[in-house]
Amino acid sequence: MGFGDRSGNYWLGNDLLSQLTANNRYKLKIELQQRDTGNWYYAEYSRFRVLSEADDYTLIVAGFSGNAGRDAFGQHNGAQFTTIERDNDRSSSRNCAAWLGGGFWWQDCGGCFVNAARSTGRFNWWNLPGGGDLQLSRMWLQCK
């Protein structure tokens, strides 16, 4: 099930993401607003899939393009979704979702933090032009 405000901050839910992406009909677009300059950047992925709950919602992502610097999201490829209640990340010292304030496909608490709480000071995208700190991020699926 999804959660949040459907007119603003909203997460579809991993079950629905898994169902929607099962046939590889969608690509993923991420828009990022840099905090200090307000400039917008984007990253697109020609392959985006979320496996089922039986696979802990493993992320399959590839085919990066865009102007967001390096591929900070792609390094999460193959990661299982981690929440505060379900620690699936590869960090042996902490639960990345608890530390960063949000569920995500964390590998080892690194890469991009587009789903982290801003209050943690870690809401960012590594190597974003002008600095990695974000004002906001948006992710959505686009038909291929």
pLDDT, tens digit (0-9, with 9 covering 90-100), for 49-80 = 999 999 999 999 999 999 999 899 999 999 99
* pLDDT (0 to 100) of residue 61: 96
* pLDDT (0 to 100) of residue 8: 63
Query: What do you get for the CA distance between the two ends of the chain, in Å?
Result: 25
Mean pLDDT, to the nearest integer, of 121-128?
84
List of domains in the chain:
9-143 (3.90.215.10)
User: Which DSSP helix (H) or strand (E) runs through 45?
Assistant: strand 40-50
Mean pLDDT, to the nearest integer, of 78-93?
92
Burial per residue of 108-142, b for 16 or more beta-carbon CB atoms within 10 angstroms, e otherwise: ebebbbbbbebeeebbbbbebeeebbbeebebeee
Looking at the whole model, is its pTM more than 0.85? yes
Residues 6+ away with beta carbon under 8 Å from 89:
79, 80, 82, 95, 96, 97, 106, 107, 108, 109
